[in-house]
Amino acid sequence: MQTAAMDPADEPSSMLWGLDPMFSAFARLYVKDILQMTESIQVPGIYFYNSHPVYKVDVLGTVVYKREREDFFCYGVDDGTGVINCMCWKSALLKEDEGLGKSSEHLAVPQGGFNPVAELKKLRQAQQSRCHLEIGELLRVRGLLKTSRQEREIMASTFYKVNDPVMAVQIAWMMEIPQLYRECYDKTFQLQPSATGNSTISTLSKATNILKDFFQQRSVTRFRPYDVQDLLQPLISSQTQTASKDQEPVAGPSTCQQLRQLLKEVLVILQDEGIVYRKVKSQDEVYHVTAQDKNLLLAVKDVIREDSKREKYAEKGCHILHILSAVRQKYSLNVSKAALELVLKSLECNSDIVSTSDNYYIAF
């Protein structure tokens, strides 16, 4: 397969690659996309998917061909979109099995005693069985990408056979990958710094941080939009002054309109993050600050304490979705999951509740 080189004008500087979270992760890409990615002209071994720099991947697929050599296995992995060659090096421990077996034969062990060498041999045999795959079996492989003889392949750092009799792993994988594409891979990451330094994104970020700092410093419990609107006025003023210096004056939204729009966008972000919420949605636009709302903290604590006494939740605890449903029924329909997570974190820090497992909580 011949891969096309990326245009030097389109390839971001290697100094900026580390800013992309995808660069540090094992990218769970479809094999088809792995085979079609273009290689960097700056650093060989780095590839680009939708401007995201990638050099290591995570693949789950069926073995469609295999070759075994003294030092490695070579598996062809098919995930339904394409087939990629995976070089899987044998562990040095696997090669010692024969010698280990001979030495363990002469090791006298009392009847009913524990033979560490024999137990270690069993562990190695289990490891060996997970590394030897046949055609048709399911393989999970992680590793670095490499182009050898114009063919893209994976140099595995981790690989193992996946036992999936009811296809639960494959179904979960097929549901997760499209979500990763939508939320990360298919979104172009803007590595190039903004030329102006006063972009809409940076202004929105500054405005959000201003309100967060204000809530924390003043211990604000609730507010209306016009109470905090003036805090963002300097951002609009500086943005207007910069624009007037660089461009000729044109008709557009007034300063007041820009301020209201900026505040509206900031409040949406704060609600998405759970920082604020509206207990009652009415014409009187009142927002409550989650961390300072003692009534909400008390309501959540009461739900967990009462339900933890029930036999159904006594051992494992209450799931976050159960807590959310109960709080919405007893306190406010508008409490978001993000807001509840902040409350749970606060209660756990104060030792009022404890997390028994992922997303399960119980009262002390």
> What is the percentage of the chain residues whose pLDDT exceeds 70?
82
Average pLDDT of the chain, as a whole number? 84
If you count DSSP H runs as helices and E runs as strands, how many of each does the chain have, helices first?
13, 14
| Element housing 339 (H / E) | helix 337-349
Beta-bridge mates of residue 61: 139
Q: In whole angstroms, give the CA distance from residue 180 to residue 39.
A: 22
Mean pLDDT of 126-136: 78
Mean pLDDT of 292-310: 93
Mean pLDDT of 40-66: 92
Looking at domain 14-101+113-185, which of 1.20.1630.10, 2.40.10.10, 3.20.20.70, 2.40.50.140 is its CATH number?
2.40.50.140
Q: Determine contact, residues 144/155, Cβ cutoff 8 Å.
A: yes
Q: Determine contact, residues 57/29, Cβ cutoff 8 Å.
A: yes
* 9: pLDDT strictly greater than 70: no
Residue 345 φ/ψ, nearest 5 degrees: -65, -40
Same fold, 14-101+113-185 and 200-242+252-290: no
> What is the percentage of the chain residues whose pLDDT exceeds 90?
51
pLDDT of residue 7: 56
**Residue with structure tokens 């006494």?**
309
Q: Determine contact, residues 362/321, Cβ cutoff 8 Å.
A: no
Q: Give the architecture-level CATH label for domain 293-363.
A: Orthogonal Bundle (1.10)
Mean pLDDT of 59-85: 93
Q: 3-state class of 79 per DSSP?
A: coil
* 200: pLDDT strictly greater than 70: no
Beta-bridge mates of residue 260: none
Domains of the chain, residue spans: 14-101+113-185, 200-242+252-290, 293-363
* 136: pLDDT strictly greater than 80: yes
CA angle, 104 as apex, 99 and 107 as ends, to 5°? 140
Whether the model clears a pTM of 0.75, i.e. scores above it, the answer is no
Q: Give pLDDT tens digits for 222-264.
A: 999 999 999 999 888 766 555 544 455 544 567 888 899 999 9
* 86: pLDDT strictly greater than 90: yes
Handedness of CA 322, 327, 332, 336 (dihedral sign): negative
Mean pLDDT of 195-217: 76
Looking at domain 200-242+252-290, which of 3.40.50.920, 1.10.10.980, 2.130.10.10, 3.30.70.1060 is its CATH number?
1.10.10.980
pLDDT of residue 286: 95
Q: Determine contact, residues 339/287, Cβ cutoff 8 Å.
A: no
Confidence of residue 359 (pLDDT cuts 50, 70, 90): confident
* 99: pLDDT strictly greater than 80: no
Judge residue 125's burial from the number of C-beta atoms within 10 Å of its C-beta, 0-12 exposed, 13-18 middle, 19 or more buried: middle
